[in-house]
Structure 1
């Protein structure tokens, strides 16, 4: 019983009924002006023309959100579009919606009124009174058992109110919801957002991980050296790397705070010298060879190339320490080649399972290139080829 009465404790039940009743208000006004048979036809034609107006979807969408879903954030409310009709398909669905709302509203409103009149007639005749005028179903005689039937017609009227509200809401989600093209656009936008969040997570991992690795290596080397001059250089390297990491962190957090903010200021391969000097200051003997017009590398490829180089050098410092490392950055034809090699300090098998190496391979794959990581003739290698087009 409580479950059956629960819909009548929700405001949306009555706002849905109001939404259906409003559909026949202005067509009903024609009955006071002219009782001709073309009243309904005139309303149908005018509503059909109104549905072709792009702004009508905005009006109906807001009204449906407010009255049919209670204007709740997310859920059904989010499924109803409140933007102007962009295609003839959208206009056609709006015409169908307005016609459906008109005829369903007329049917449900008249049925609800008739059931209430029937309830009144049953109660009145059971008490020995007369029938009210306007009822479709006549109640003959004056019998006491009419009072027993009265609750059934009242329950049926309540069922019409609740059921028609659910029905018009389902129809609204179908006809006022996004078109297939709009759903595809929303899906693409969501995909872009997820890719952006993944990219940001990778950047934080690469930048902060590199800074912490440099700081740990430099601090350990300074303590072991016991040389004030070396300690000063180590502190300077820690300061520079930490400042760069803070800049990266501030930029990424700015993008998260303002989703529409354009991504700018990200380092590119033109800033690779900063990475190489940081690795050298940490004790690694880095030999770099840069050939080709690095400055002409397209922005996305150059930025991702910088992150790949950063992660590769971080792995050298983290796992091998102060060892000789060879870095080759080559731009040839329509390909960017990044090759980093360093001696293995311990036996390793496989391409490596760390999140940093996995990120290198994923970055390369997203740009249409490929990456090889793993042992090679006694060295550890990271070899990446990225297309420039």
Structure 2
């Protein structure tokens, strides 16, 4: 019993009812012109044409979210109803079908919402020997005492109509006002990119902060055990430098996290590669860049990942190559984007050097290339360290 009555304790049941009743306002206005079939057909035709206007989906989407799902913003079921203008003719067609379906459902529910209570009143009045009003769509003859037993049935039927129609129109809204295939693919792309970015951030934080803490703990323990003032000074210097480097990495990662709040389309692409080059040069590195081909025509996902790959390669140069000169080549030819970064191999440093950590930047480059269907080669090549990435543009 509680399960049956539960829908009537939810506000969304009544807002869905209101949503269906509001649908007939447009066609009801045409009744002031003339109570004829042609006026209703004209109203329905104009309503269908309005669905072909791109902004109509925005209005209908917001209204459906608010009244059918009870959500003002994205989240829950509301994410299945979009609030963006129609882009393709298929989206416009679905919006037009939605408007017509909502009109039909609205008329049926509005008619039953009036007639079923009138039927209940006629049954109740005839049960007590009073003449019925005769305005109902079902004629009631009386008086009959047993009509009192039937009087609640139209109201129960109305309750079923309100709940059932509300659920049906909500399911129809998700179908006709929901995202198209291209919009779903775009949302999936954004979600995938966010997950990849978070995975890379977690990996970098683990490597950078973990390495810094390990060095600090080992150096502090060794200084305490040695009991030598000079050794202690060297250990403190090492801890300070390692901590400063970790803080720089942390600030960079936090910058990426703040950036994730922006739409993917606003993130940097290869068109913004100059900022990377200037930043590297300001850090003391000698960077020689060669850019050929129409970089601005590279598709968004490829261009964004290409920017990240270039950023990671330059970061590795600054970290491990001791400001060695680097040559960068960005080339767009046919259906392929080529990123090539070369720098002289640094001289080996006795003991644990800056490249001895378990950094996963190169692995991240290879993973990014593989996800886009490309390939990446990293490693020594003729006395240089090279990062060579090829990404398909299609």
TM bracket (short chain): 0.7 to 0.9
In 1, Cα distance between equivalents of 2:238 and 2:276: 22
In 1, Cα distance between equivalents of 2:53 and 2:317: 56
In 2, Cα distance between equivalents of 1:137 and 1:41: 26
Aligned equivalent of 1:304, options 278, 298, 312: 312
Q: Can you list the C-alpha shifts for 1:101-149, whole angstroms capped at 9, x where unaligned?
A: 1111001211232221111111111111112232121112311111111
- TM-score of the aligned structures, taking structure 1 as reference length: 0.73
Is 1:369 matched up with 2:394?
Answer: no
Match of 1:3 in 2: 3
Q: State the 1:34 CA deviation.
A: 1.3
Structure 2 CA distance for partners of 1:186 and 1:359, relative to 1, 3 Å:
same
Q: CA RMSD in A?
A: 3.8
In the alignment, structure 1 segments of 5+ residues that lack a partner are 275-292, 314-327, 344-354, 373-383
Q: State the 1:186 CA deviation.
A: 0.4
Match of 1:325 in 2: none
Match of 2:104 in 1: 103
SS at match of 2:151: helix
Structure 2 CA distance for partners of 1:168 and 1:266, relative to 1, 3 Å:
farther
Q: State the 1:210 CA deviation.
A: 2.7
Match of 1:65 in 2: 65
Deviates more, 1:119-128 or 1:29-38: 29-38
SS at match of 1:256: helix
In the alignment, structure 2 segments of 5+ residues that lack a partner are 269-274, 291-305, 330-339, 351-356, 370-374, 380-384
Match of 2:142 in 1: 141
Question: What is the 5 A alignment of 1:5-84?
Answer: 5-71=5-71, 74-84=75-85
Q: State the 1:357 CA deviation.
A: 7.3
Is 1:213 matched up with 2:214?
Answer: yes
CA contact 2:317–2:343 (8 Å) conserved in 1: no
Q: Can you list the C-alpha shifts for 1:31-74, whole angstroms capped at 9, x where unaligned?
A: 23312321211111110121111111111111111111112651
Match of 1:131 in 2: 132
Structure 2 CA distance for partners of 1:330 and 1:63, relative to 1, 3 Å:
closer
Structure 2 CA distance for partners of 1:152 and 1:129, relative to 1, 3 Å:
same
The number of equivalent residue pairs is: 337
In 2, Cα distance between equivalents of 1:338 and 1:203: 25
In 2, Cα distance between equivalents of 1:179 and 1:302: 34
Match of 1:378 in 2: none
In 2, Cα distance between equivalents of 1:332 and 1:175: 49
Structure 2 CA distance for partners of 1:299 and 1:338, relative to 1, 3 Å:
farther
In 1, Cα distance between equivalents of 2:230 and 2:16: 79
Structure 2 CA distance for partners of 1:206 and 1:127, relative to 1, 3 Å:
same
Q: State the 1:250 CA deviation.
A: 2.1
CA contact 1:337–1:386 (8 Å) conserved in 2: no
In 1, Cα distance between equivalents of 2:223 and 2:278: 29
Q: Can you list the C-alpha shifts for 1:344-388, whole angstroms capped at 9, x where unaligned?
A: xxxxxxxxxxx947775454343433679xxxxxxxxxxx97424
Q: State the 1:256 CA deviation.
A: 2.1
In 2, Cα distance between equivalents of 1:108 and 1:248: 61
Deviates more, 1:216-225 or 1:62-71: 216-225
Structure 2 CA distance for partners of 1:22 and 1:58, relative to 1, 3 Å:
same
Structure 2 CA distance for partners of 1:121 and 1:162, relative to 1, 3 Å:
same
Q: Can you list the C-alpha shifts for 1:225-244, whole angstroms capped at 9, x where unaligned?
A: 55544433332232122112
Q: State the 1:26 CA deviation.
A: 2.7
Larger radius of gyration between Structure 1 and Structure 2? 1
CA contact 1:90–1:179 (8 Å) conserved in 2: yes
Structure 2 CA distance for partners of 1:371 and 1:251, relative to 1, 3 Å:
closer
Structure 2 CA distance for partners of 1:156 and 1:299, relative to 1, 3 Å:
closer
In 2, Cα distance between equivalents of 1:33 and 1:299: 62
